């Protein structure tokens, strides 16, 4: 038998999970996204008239991590102790890694995933004039630590 989803009450209505009985613990999460683009767009990253797309994406991702509960309706508002985003240029695109950490009653997976997604969207926004065919792929949780369910690490690279 599968475990019931925690964001539904007894009547099947969506509800915010009550974490008030849980003790705060250190929790971390790392997520990634990949922005696939052609070589012409990659080579133009440093010449963008709007500014450095990777630096703007990094800041956008950090800001998104801090605002996750404003975007995801049933997500708890968490006091983040750290959030960071890195953007790495690869042969066929930009790999974005986002991390978040807190000492709280619930995890920061959504903050890391939101940071990665918004950073990827920002790269797209700042480069879309060069190619509308840019794609955002593989927004995934890579790992998380802490909490009742314990640690998780994705088995395969994406």
- Residue 9 placed within a domain: no
- Residue 19 placed within a domain: no
Name the strands in the sheet holding 25-36, side by side, starting at the edge strand that comes first in the sequence. Answer: 80-90, 93-104, 25-36, 135-145, 152-153
- Read off the pLDDT of residues 34-78 as tens digits, 9 standing for 90 and up: 999 999 999 999 888 888 999 999 999 999 999 999 999 999 999
- Residue 105 placed within a domain: yes
Is 131 a known active-site residue? no
- Residue 14 placed within a domain: no
Q: What's the total number of domains in the chain?
A: 1
- Residue 81 placed within a domain: yes
Q: Please list the ranges in the chain whose pLDDT falls under 70.
A: 1-8, 157
Q: How far apart, in whole angstroms, are the C-alpha atoms of residue 149 and residue 154?
A: 15
Instruction: Look at residue 21 in the predicted model and tell me its pLDDT.
Output: 81
- Residue 8 placed within a domain: no
Q: How far apart, in whole angstroms, are the C-alpha atoms of residue 25 and residue 149?
A: 12
Q: Which of 47, 125, 131, 151 is catalytic?
A: 125
Instruction: Look at residue 8 in the predicted model and tell me its pLDDT.
Output: 67
- Residue 138 placed within a domain: yes
Domain that holds residue 113: 25-146
Q: What's this model's pTM, rounded to 2 decimal places?
A: 0.90
- Residue 106 placed within a domain: yes
Instruction: Look at residue 1 in the predicted model and tell me its pLDDT.
Output: 43
State the CB neighbour count (10 A cutoff) for residue 88: 12
Instruction: Look at residue 3 in the predicted model and tell me its pLDDT.
Output: 60
Which CATH number belongs to the domain containing residue 89 in this structure? 3.30.70.640
């Amino acid at each position: 038998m599968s475990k019931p989803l925690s964001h539904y009450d007894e009547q099947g209505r969506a509800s915010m999970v009550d974490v008030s009985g849980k003790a705060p613990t250190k929790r971390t999460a790392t997520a990634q996204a990949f922005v696939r683009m052609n070589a012409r767009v990659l080579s133009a990253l440093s010449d963008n008239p709007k500014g450095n797309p990777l630096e703007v994406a990094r800041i956008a991702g950090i800001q998104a991590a801090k605002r996750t509960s404003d975007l995801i309706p049933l997500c708890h508002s968490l006091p983040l102790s750290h959030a960071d985003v890195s953007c790495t240029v690869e042969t066929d695109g930009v790999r974005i890694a986002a991390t978040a950490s807190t000492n709280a009653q619930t995890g920061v997976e959504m903050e890391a995933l939101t940071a990665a997604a918004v950073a990827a969207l920002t790269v797209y926004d700042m480069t879309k004039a060069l190619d509308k065919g840019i794609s955002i792929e593989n927004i995934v949780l890579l790992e998380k630590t802490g909490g009742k369910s314990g640690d998780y690490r994705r088995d395969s690279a994406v």
